[in-house]
């Protein structure tokens, strides 16, 4: 074959140079994380949201700093320190404004003018009890600036919009230095800058840990297989070089690594290991037959190289189908993984074979009786499939029914917390805000005044008030912010600050009195809630992380209520915001999953048809690879694991990798048939010569993906468990079901000449 004409030394030298270049390029890798990455592209709600935030600010340009005092925050020394911290945060980079309870004042109307009194009289502890009673019954403050039990205060920092990673790191570094000055019992952060810094740190940690653990695993496996330093070294260097070249290529192409980057080392090491084992096993077998090194490597490349090329192509196709997703990180993962598979193949074919041709069998593997052991076991397995064909088929059918029932139970009600790293402070902080404050998940309403009205007219505000009253009946919504806050506060002021007077004026006459004061409120205080032309306003809420499907149900119920209770001749309402856009992923995940897998099956089927030129072999090759797919779906359903964007990639990974062993099995069967052997003898030699490699690579795949159990990213752990379990079912399908299907569908008289 032409590949063998590449001089070995030149090939080794070329790849060594590329490896050194890749070391430099790895340091050029870019990492990123922001929720916009997970927005579905070409979505009408996304286009509306983009237009909406051109007039209003985004709903994630904030950073919360919650400070705890478990005995209660109404203590002078604590309040003084907290107030000092509030003022100090104004100097942090990329902070536009700050707000906390110690800066809040109530407006008070006197016979002479409007004055203010502080919400907390920091310097007068005798008033703390009265302040506490008032504050803890004020909906403007509870869950926003103070916890319900009065044990934590919150500073709200408004930050610049669409902060980049470098800006977030600068802000968080400055904030951490500032917090180190104080000795608060505990403090917690929540917001875009914090998420960006911590989740990118998680990505980097995951890549390093998964890479190291995977290489240790491969070292152990290679030792058990080859038992010779040179054989182990060739395998490890080849696999490591493939990973190095892949990461270097990503750096060269300027590809940004996102939350799924932790899978790359595991994927590359596993794919590379599979290729290396198939190539080395075949080369060793040929050397044992007495062939020269050059003859052995030539046959290896002709027989295994072609099969490995096909497996790499089908695996790349499986990953490539992720490009049908409307979520950018999923598309990026599909493209990068497909590139990685091809890089691993090229490395093994050109670099590994150049090293192997210099080695004799004794250099690569320890001679022992293992060969006869494997041959005996594979012949026994072959006989088992011969005797129990009907039982195997019925077992597969029963399994399929069981799996389909599990698939019907799949839920997409995923939570943000499910994507947070285990055991990390960011997760602890997120849960703290979920339990003590209003939570993180945003909910927005765009309000349009109709029929020539303005958004601050009485009729318009009255309709908005009706919606706010409805929103407050939900136990999951604890923070509501709109222009009504201005009118409610003034109405309360005009009623001697009675708690019950914090409401929208009941009559237009009362509203007009309130509006005289409202017109004097500085525009800067309401410009984030009211458009410049006063035709549009917004209602900004924050709600608990109850799951995507549960949130969508609340949204649908609200839309139904709005249609029946809001005067649509006065206002038009449309839900928007980052929360709504992210929740739509649950819809697109299902769609892209079905389209992607359908496309993968179609393309792989066409490849099989062109390769084997027999529709029966195409059907035989596809059926066993449906088993791991439906098993993955069944596990999601039976175990109650929500299907979300990150976890959805398992199906492409499973199909792309599972089909590899199928190709190796059928390719070996066809080679035997072309030598004139009958079906049964061809199957027996296929079991003997390919069965060991298939089982070994499947074991490596199983334990390789279990490496993800070391991940602190929950979706990665789930992905590892799902892929490991389902790939075991793939090898069972290959070694049990394929022989049965071949005997049923291919008749002896149709043997290939």
Give 519-557 pLDDT, tens digit per residue: 766 554 455 788 888 889 999 888 898 888 888 889 999
Contacts of 134 (CB under 8 A, 6+ apart): 119, 499
Q: Which two structure tokens, joined as six digits, stand for 552?
A: 């969508």
- Note the residue count of the chain: 753
Reference 447, options 487, 490, 482, 486; nearest CA is 482
Measured CA distances, 50 to 363, 446, 551 (Å): 63, 12, 21
State pLDDT tens for residues 94-105: 999 999 999 988
The answer to whether 530 touches 537, Cβ cutoff 8 Å, is: yes
The answer to whether residue 557 sits within a structural domain is yes
The enclosing domain of 732 has a CATH number of 1.20.1640.10
- Two tokens, residue 574: 């449309």
- How far is the first Cα of the chain from the last one, in angstroms, to the nearest whole number? 22
> Same structural domain for residues 324 and 270?
yes
Same domain, 478 and 351: no
Q: Each residue of 12-35: pLDDT tens digit?
A: 899 999 999 999 998 888 877 766
pLDDT of residue 368: 56
Q: How many domains does the chain have?
A: 4
In a domain, 215, yes or no: no
Say if 36 falls within a structural domain.
Answer: no
Is residue 188 domain-shared with residue 260, that is, in the same domain? no
Question: Which of 173, 141, 640 is closest to 413 using CA atoms?
Answer: 640
How far apart, in whole angstroms, are the C-alpha atoms of residue 602 and residue 741? 20
Give the integer Cα–Cα distance in Å for 662 and 694: 9
> Residue 32's closest CA among 164, 161, 209?
164
- Mean pLDDT, the chain, rounded, equals 85
pLDDT at 4: 42
448 and 559 assigned to the same domain: yes
Q: Are residues 147 and 98 in the same domain?
A: yes
- Give me the residue label for tokens 């072959």: 382
Confidence of residue 751 (pLDDT cuts 50, 70, 90): very low
- Among 531, 550, 583, identify where a domain stops: 583
Average pLDDT over residues 355-361: 84
Predicted confidence (pLDDT) at residue 736 exceeds the cutoff of 80: yes
Tell me, what's the pLDDT at 83? 95
Same domain, 404 and 449: no
Residue 62 has pLDDT above 70, yes or no: yes
Residues 647, 610 contacting (CB under 8 angstroms): no
Alpha-carbon torsion 544, 547, 550, 554, what sign? positive
| Residues 307 and 241 grouped into a single domain | yes
Long-range contacts of 684-691 (CB under 8 A, 24+ apart): 684/379, 684/382, 687/378, 687/379, 687/381, 687/382, 687/735, 687/739, 688/374, 688/375, 688/378, 688/379, 689/285, 690/664, 690/665, 691/374, 691/377, 691/378, 691/381, 691/735
Residue 546 sits in the same domain as residue 445: yes
Q: How confident is the model at residue 322 (pLDDT cuts 50, 70, 90)?
A: confident
236/269 same-domain check: yes
Question: Which domain CATH number covers 192?
Answer: 3.30.310
Per-residue pLDDT tens for 159-173? 998 888 889 999 999
Q: Is residue 685 part of a domain?
A: yes
DSSP secondary-structure letter at 529? T
Which DSSP string do the residues of 390-448 spell out, in sequence order? HHHHHHHHHHHHHHHHHHTT------GGGGSPTT-HHHHHHHHHHHHSS-SEEEEEEEE
**Quick one: average pLDDT of 604-621?**
78
Name the DSSP letter for residue 21. Answer: H
Within 8 A by CB and 6+ apart from 311, the residues are 274, 659, 660, 663, 664
Instruction: Report d(CA 340, CA 456) in Å as an integer.
Output: 57
Give the contacts of 430 (CB within 8 A, at least 6 positions apart).
Answer: 190, 416, 417, 420, 440
Is pLDDT above 90 for 81? Answer: yes
Distance CA 280, CA 304 (A): 10
Look at residue 690 and tell me if it is in a domain. Answer: yes
570 within some domain: yes
Q: Which of 583, 618, 640 is the last residue of a domain?
A: 583
| CA distances in angstroms from 21 to 9, 253, 724, listed in the order given | 19, 13, 34
**In the predicted structure, residue 463 carries a pLDDT above the cut 90:** yes
DSSP class of 494: T
Check if the beta carbon of residue 349 is closer than 8 Å to that of residue 10.
no
Measured CA to CA, the distance from residue 167 to residue 95 in angstroms comes to 11
What angle, rounded to 10 degrees, do the helices at 76-88 and 165-179 form?
A: 150
600 shares a domain with 574: no
Is there a single domain that holds both residue 85 and residue 12?
A: no
**Which residues span the domain enclosing 388?**
369-408+584-753
* Within a domain: 421: no
Q: Does 604 share its domain with 741?
A: yes
Asked if the structure places residue 418 within a domain, the reply is no
Final residue before a domain boundary, out of 175, 197, 219: 197
């Amino acid at each position: 074959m032409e590949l063998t004409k590449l001089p070995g030394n030149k090939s080794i030298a070329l790849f060594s140079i590329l490896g050194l270049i890749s070391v430099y390029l790895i340091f050029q890798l870019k990492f990123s994380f922001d929720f916009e990455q997970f927005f579905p592209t070409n979505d009408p709600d996304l286009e509306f949201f983009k237009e909406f935030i051109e007039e209003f600010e985004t709903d994630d340009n904030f950073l919360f700093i919650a400070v705890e005092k478990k005995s209660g925050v109404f203590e002078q020394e604590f309040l003084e320190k907290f107030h000092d911290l509030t003022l100090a945060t104004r100097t942090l980079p990329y902070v536009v404004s700050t707000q906390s309870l110690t800066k809040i004042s109530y407006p008070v109307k006197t016979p002479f003018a409007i004055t203010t009194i502080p919400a907390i009289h920091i310097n007068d502890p005798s008033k703390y009890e009265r302040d506490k009673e008032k504050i803890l019954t004020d909906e403007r403050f509870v869950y926003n600036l103070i916890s319900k039990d009065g044990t934590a205060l919150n500073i709200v920092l408004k930050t610049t919009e669409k902060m980049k990673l470098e800006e977030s790191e600068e802000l968080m570094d400055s904030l951490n230095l500032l917090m180190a000055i104080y000795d608060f019992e505990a403090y917690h952060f929540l917001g875009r800058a914090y998420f960006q810094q911590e989740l990118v740190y998680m990505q980097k940690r995951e890549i390093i840990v998964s890479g190291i653990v995977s290489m240790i695993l491969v070292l152990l496996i290679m030792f058990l297989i080859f038992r010779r330093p040179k054989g182990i070294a060739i395998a490890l260097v080849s696999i490591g070089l493939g990973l190095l070249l892949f990461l270097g290529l990503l750096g060269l192409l300027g590809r940004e690594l996102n939350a799924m980057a932790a899978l790359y080392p595991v994927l590359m090491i596993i794919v590379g290991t599979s290729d290396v084992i198939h190539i080395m096993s075949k080369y060793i077998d040929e050397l044992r037959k007495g062939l020269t090194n050059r003859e052995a490597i030539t046959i290896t490349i002709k027989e295994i190289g072609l099969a490995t090329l096909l497996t790499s192509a089908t695996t790349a196709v499986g990953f490539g189908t992720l490009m049908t997703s409307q979520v950018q990180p999923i598309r990026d993962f599909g493209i990068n993984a497909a590139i990685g598979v091809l890089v691993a193949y090229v490395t093994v074919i050109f670099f590994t074979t150049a090293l192997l041709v210099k080695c004799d069998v004794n250099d690569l593997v320890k001679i022992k009786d293992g060969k006869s052991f494997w041959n005996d076991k594979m012949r026994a397995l072959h006989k088992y499939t011969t005797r129990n064909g009907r039982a195997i088929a019925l077992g597969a059918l029963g399994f399929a029914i069981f799996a389909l029932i599990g698939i019907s139970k799949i839920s997409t009600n995923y939570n943000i917390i499910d994507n947070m790293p285990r055991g990390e402070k960011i997760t602890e902080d997120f849960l703290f805000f979920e339990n003590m404050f209003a939570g993180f998940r945003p909910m927005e309403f765009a309000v349009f005044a109709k029929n020539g009205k303005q958004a601050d007219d009485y009729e318009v505000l009255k309709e908005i008030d009706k919606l706010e009253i409805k929103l407050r009946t939900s136990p999951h919504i604890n923070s509501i912010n709109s222009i009504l806050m201005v009118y409610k506060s003034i109405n309360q002021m005009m009623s001697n600050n009675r708690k019950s007077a914090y409401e929208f004026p009941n009559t237009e006459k009362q509203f007009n009195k309130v509006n005289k004061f409202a017109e004097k409120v500085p525009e800067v205080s309401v410009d984030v809630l009211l458009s410049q032309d006063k035709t549009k306003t917004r209602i900004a809420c924050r709600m608990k992380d109850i799951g995507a499907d549960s949130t969508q149900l609340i949204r649908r119920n609200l839309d139904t209520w709005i249609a029946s209770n809001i005067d649509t001749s006065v206002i038009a309402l449309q839900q928007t915001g980052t929360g709504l856009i992210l929740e739509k992923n649950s819809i697109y995940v299902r769609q892209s999953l079905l389209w992607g897998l359908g496309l993968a099956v179609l393309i792989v089927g066409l490849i099989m048809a062109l390769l084997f030129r027999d529709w029966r072999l195409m059907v035989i090759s596809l059926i066993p690879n449906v088993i791991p797919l439906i098993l993955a779906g069944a596990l999601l359903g039976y175990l109650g694991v929500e299907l979300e964007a990150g976890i959805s990639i398992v199906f492409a990974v499973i199909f792309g990798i599972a089909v590899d062993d199928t190709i190796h099995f059928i390719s070996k069967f066809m080679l035997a048939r072309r030598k004139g052997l009958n079906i049964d003898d061809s199957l027996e030699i296929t079991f003997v010569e390919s069965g060991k490699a298939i089982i070994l690579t499947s074991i490596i795949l199983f334990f390789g993906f279990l490496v993800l159990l070391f991940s602190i990213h929950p979706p990665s752990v789930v992905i590892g468990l799902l892929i490991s379990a389902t790939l075991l079912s793939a090898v069972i399908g290959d070694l049990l079901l394929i022989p049965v299907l071949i005997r049923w569908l291919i008749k002896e008289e149709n043997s290939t000449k």
